[in-house]
Amino acid sequence: MSTQTIKTDRFMNTYKRTGLVFEKGKGAKLYTADGSEYIDFTAGIGVNALGHGHEKLVTAIAEQAAKVIHVSNYFLTEPSIKLAEELTDLTGYDKVFFCNSGAEANEGLIKIARKYGSSKKPDKNVIVTLKGSFHGRTVTTVTATGQDKFHQFFGPFTPGFIYVEPDNLDELERALTDTVCAFIFEPIQGEGGVRPLSPQYLQAAEKLCRERDILFVADEVQSGVGRTGAFLACEKLGVRPDMTAVAKGLAGGVPVGAILARGACAETLQPGDHGTTFGGNPLAAAAARVVLNELTQPGFLAEVDRKGEKLKSAARSWKNPLIKEVRGMGLMVGIAVTCPPSDVVAQCRTNHLLALTAGEDTVRLLPPLVITDEELDAGIARLKSSLDELAQRA
């Protein structure tokens, strides 16, 4: 179907769609049906860790589909058994619960935190999150999200959430009372504007949580699975959460989510407490095993760091008056701009580069982790031209 003939009137109006219809992809490139090529600095919003059309991923999905796609969680399959072992070995967590999305992973860990807290004290169920955070679109995860713009229309919301300023330890210390069961944070706020937390803040927050028997919980749905140049961003920040949510990149594009838990958190849920029909299905598990295998190849994560530095240092070297700041970790990069970031994204699209916005003022770049230097250089050149063209117009 060509881009000109698309009809979107049968879709609910939930996305500001671009009008682009993609047919296929290879590496960090996507192609429309009429053959136009785009460099993808979005990776499906941080999902296509191995890019598009990755041969090993495609083969594993096809082979697993031919064997068995789904059996329900009353039974096990080899891919999910192996994935559970590989993921817990890699991350040092004790146990995993598989689900299908980031929001679902966060919903599940909120349930674990509340069950854990109320076993200590009946009213220990309050959850502290950060202003500017994003944790998902279900009623409870949207409540956990510390941004007012998401808190409209859908009330009444789940009670028991409070929000504090990122990197303000005094405020956090006051908020962590004996009714709090968990502190949930993104190590780098993604949707909120690619804003890393300081390691000093996070390390002090972890200490406070431990002293007060409050669970220290990371939402690494966007920052996890190699995106920041470590398998989990918390490794780089020197903290060890009790639980971590991952999703997005974990199966390279097949829907998946996971709650990783250690210690008491890993034992909190009992049969009947929680569940999912699709979570941990062999198709997603087979795909995720390929992603883990690729990410653990020697030098893979160092390359993510190198390519991220290349992108950031290029943007920092430009004397473009629209650029306020360049920040991020690994291939999770934010460029704060003085114009609406959606203008930059639109101009990039005109120049056949796909980019994202984040927060109020940020252009967000999440290329596939396997992007080649050639693709990266071409994308950087298109980004520079787009910003230059906008600056000339301003």
Ligand X SMILES: Cc1ncc(COP(=O)(O)O)c(C=O)c1O
User: In the bound complex, what is the minimum distance in angstroms from residue 46's beta carbon to ligand X?
Assistant: 7
> Does residue number 246 form part of the binding site for ligand X (CB under 6 A)?
no
Q: Which helix (H) or strand (E) holds 205?
A: helix 199-211
Residue type at 220?
Answer: E
User: Residues 50, 113, 225, 247: which binds ligand X (CB under 6 A)?
Assistant: 247
Rounded Cα distance between 12 and 162, Å, is 32
Pair 373, 303: CB distance under 8 Å: no
> Does residue number 44 form part of the binding site for ligand X (CB under 6 A)?
no
User: Residues 80, 222, 228, 244: which binds ligand X (CB under 6 A)?
Assistant: 222
Distance of CA 13 to the CA centre of its chain: 24
Of 31-39, 82-90, 128-136, 197-205: span binding ligand X (CB under 6 A)? 128-136
Neighbouring-strand partners of residue 258 = 98, 246
The tokens describing 50, both together, are 């191995």
Rounded Cα distance between 329 and 315, Å, is 14
User: In the bound complex, what is the minimum distance in angstroms from residue 126's beta carbon to ligand X?
Assistant: 20
User: Residues 29, 54, 114, 135: which binds ligand X (CB under 6 A)?
Assistant: 135
Query: Residue 27 or 257: which CB sits closer to ligand X?
Result: 257
Q: Looking at residues 76 to 105 of the shown chain, list those that interact with ligand X (rule: CB under 6 A).
A: 101-103
Q: Which of 115, 48, 55 is nearest to 266 (CA)?
A: 115
Query: Residue 247 or 322: which CB sits closer to ligand X?
Result: 247
Query: Residue 77 or 222: which CB sits closer to ligand X?
Result: 222
134 is catalytic: yes
Q: How many residues bind ligand X (CB under 6 A)?
A: 14
User: In the bound complex, what is the minimum distance in angstroms from residue 356's beta carbon to ligand X?
Assistant: 10
Residue nearest ligand X by beta-carbon distance: 102
Span between the terminal Cα atoms of the chain, in Å: 36
Sheet holding 95-99, edge to edge: 95-99, 257-261, 243-246, 215-219, 180-185, 126-130, 161-164
Catalytic residue chosen out of the listed positions 134, 161, 183, 185: 134
Q: Which helix (H) or strand (E) holds 196?
A: strand 195-196
Binding site for ligand X (CB under 6 A): 101-103, 106, 134-136, 186, 190-191, 219, 221-222, 247
Catalytic residues: 134, 219, 248
